Amino acid sequence: MGSALGAGGKSHGALRFLSGWDSREASSLLLLTPHMSQLLISSPFMLPVALETVAELNPVFVPIGDWPKMVADFFGEKTPAWIGVDEMPAAAYEGLREGIKSGVDGSPYLDALRVQKDEYALSRHREGAAICHQLFKILPQLIEIGKPVKLVQAELEYEAKSRGADYMNSWLTIRPAADRPRYWPQENQAPVADNSQILLGLALTIEGHWAHGIRMGYLGALDPRHEAFHQTVLAALDVGAAELQVGNSVASSMSAMEERLQKCGYDKMYGPSRGFRYGHGLGLSYEDPMLTDHFPQKFGQATANAVNGEDVSLKSGMLFELHPNLFFDGVGGAAIGDMVLVTDHGPERLTNFPRGLMKIGK
C-alpha cells in the first residue's frame, strides 16, 4: 500500500526503502531476484508516473487478480521471501497465500537494514524537523477565540505542504482539559475557547521520510496543575533522550522515562493516568520497525502493552521520536515530543523549537 495510508502504513516504508516507489492509494508488488525486477501496479493511473520515475523496475499495470500468475512465471520453482504480507489486500493474499506459506518472512532482514539512516535520509529528516519548527512558530498567529479548531489544522497542513512536505497530519486539542490527542475534523469542530490547554502534535514527510514533534501552550489563565504536568513530561523526555547513547539498549530509554513519570505521584492526586506510547523509531515508516517494538502502546487495552522482540543495541544513525505523556480525565495532561538522533558524540535533537509552554494571546 502507498503513502495514502499516512501514519497507518508499514509496507509502504519497506517498498520505498528498496526502490523509492510510492503508489499512493494503489497497491503495488515488487518482484526481485539478483538479476531482474518487475513492479506490478494495480492502478493504470499510476503507471505513467512509475515509467517516469522508476523505469529500471520494469513497471507494468496488472490487476490484482492476475498477480498470482505473474509471480509464478517470475520465480518459477524458486521459493521467494515475502515482505509486507500483513498489509496485503485480501484479493492478493488469497491468490498468493500458498506461496507465502512455503516462503520465508524477509521482514526481519530488511528491518535490520533500515534502522541506521544514511546521510541522504538524515538530510530529509532534518528538513522535516525544520518545517515542524516553522509550524510551531506560526501557531500563535492561527489561534483565535471562536475559530473552529479544525480550521487551525487545515492552515497548518497548507503551510507544511507549501514548505515542501508531501504529507501532513496534526493532533490538535484546544480545550480546558487536554485529555488526549485529537486528529479528525469531527473531533475539532468546536470553536477555540478561553482558558484552554493547547496540545499540538505534527507528523509530516519529506520524500517519504517522517518528521514528528509535539509542543504545548495555553490560552488565558495558566492552571498550575497543567504547568506541573508539562514540567514532569519535559524532565522525562530529557532523561529518555540522555539514554540514547551508542551501546545502550533501546529499552533503557523507555525505562528511564517510565521511572521518571512514576515518581511524580499524580495518580494518588488525580486517579489513574492514561497515555500513548512514549516513543518510536522514525524513518520511511512513522513507526519504524525494530526500534518501535520496545515502546509499548499504553493507550487502550492492557493486552496491547506487550513489548515484542529482543532488545536492540543502539548504533549511530538510529532515529527516534520520544514523546512521554500523561493525561487525567477531567483535569488535563501534557505531552512533549522531539526527534532524537543517536550519534557517536551522544544524542542530537533535530527538533529545536523551544519546549516551554507557549502563551497564546494577551
pLDDT tens, the chain, 362 aa long = 899 989 988 889 999 999 999 999 999 999 999 999 999 999 999 999 999 999 999 999 999 999 999 999 999 888 889 998 888 888 888 888 887 888 889 999 999 999 999 999 999 999 999 999 999 999 999 999 999 999 999 999 999 999 999 999 999 999 999 999 999 889 999 999 999 999 999 999 999 999 999 999 999 999 999 999 999 999 999 999 999 999 999 999 999 999 999 998 898 899 888 899 999 999 999 999 999 989 998 887 544 455 566 789 999 999 999 999 999 999 999 999 999 999 999 999 999 999 999 999 87
Beta strands 167-175 and 104-105 are unpaired
DSSP summary character for residue 286: S
User: Domain of 214?
Assistant: 119-360
What is the four-CA torsion angle of 180, 181, 185, 191, rounded to 10 degrees?
60
> Which of 114, 142, 175 is the last residue before a domain boundary?
114
H or E stretch covering 21? none
Are 355 and 295 part of one and the same domain?
Answer: yes
Residue 96 maps to which CATH number?
Answer: 3.40.350.10
Q: Identify whether residues 150 and 28 lie together within a single domain.
A: no
3-class secondary-structure state, position 284:
coil
Q: Do 124 and 109 belong to one domain?
A: no
Closest by CA to 280, choosing from 259, 268, 295, 265, is 295
Maximum CA pair distance of the chain? Answer: 72
Q: Are residues 195 and 273 in the same domain?
A: yes
Same domain, 108 and 129: no
Nearest to 243 by CA among 328, 330, 314: 314
Contact 201, 213 (CB under 8 A): yes
C-alpha grid cell, residue 199:
496540545
CB of 6 within 8 A of CB of 287?
no
For residue 251, the domain's CATH number is 3.90.230.10
28 φ, ψ (degrees, to nearest 5): -135, 155
User: Considering its fold, how many domains does the chain have in total?
Assistant: 2
CA distance 361 to 160: 23
How is the beta sheet containing 209-219 ordered, strand by strand?
A: 167-175, 196-206, 209-219, 358-360
Q: Which amino acid is at 170?
A: S
Instruction: Return the number of other C-beta atoms located less than 10 Å from residue 210's C-beta.
Output: 26
**In this structure, are 176 and 67 located in the same domain?**
no
Whether 100 and 134 map to the same domain: the answer is no
